[in-house]
Amino acid sequence: MIALGLILLIIGLVAGIPVLTTIGVILLVVGLILNLVPIGGSTRRVW
């Protein structure tokens, strides 16, 4: 999800499409939050 958000963000900035930029930022933030916050109460993260 982080990679997809980053790709959409770059494409949106290069092509000048604000919708892709917005979707890219949203996916990037959600991907980072889901990666950093442990789900299910487990504090163990497998990198």
Stated pTM of the model = 0.75
Let me know how long the chain is: 47
Per-residue confidence (pLDDT) for residue 47, from 0 to 100: 66
Which of 25-29, 33-37, 41-45 is predicted most confidently? Answer: 25-29
pLDDT tier, 25 (very low <50, low <70, confident <90, very high otherwise) = very high
Supply angle C-alpha 33, 9, 3, rounded to 5: 55
Q: Which residue has the higher pLDDT, 39 or 25?
A: 25
Please give the helix or strand (H or E) that residue 13 lies within, else none: helix 2-15
Report the mean per-residue pLDDT for the chain. 86
Q: What is the spatial distance between Cα 21 and Cα 15, in angstroms, rounded to a whole number?
A: 10
Q: Which of 10, 6, 42 is nearest to 26 (CA)?
A: 6
Contacts of 11 (CB under 8 A, 6+ apart): 17, 20, 24
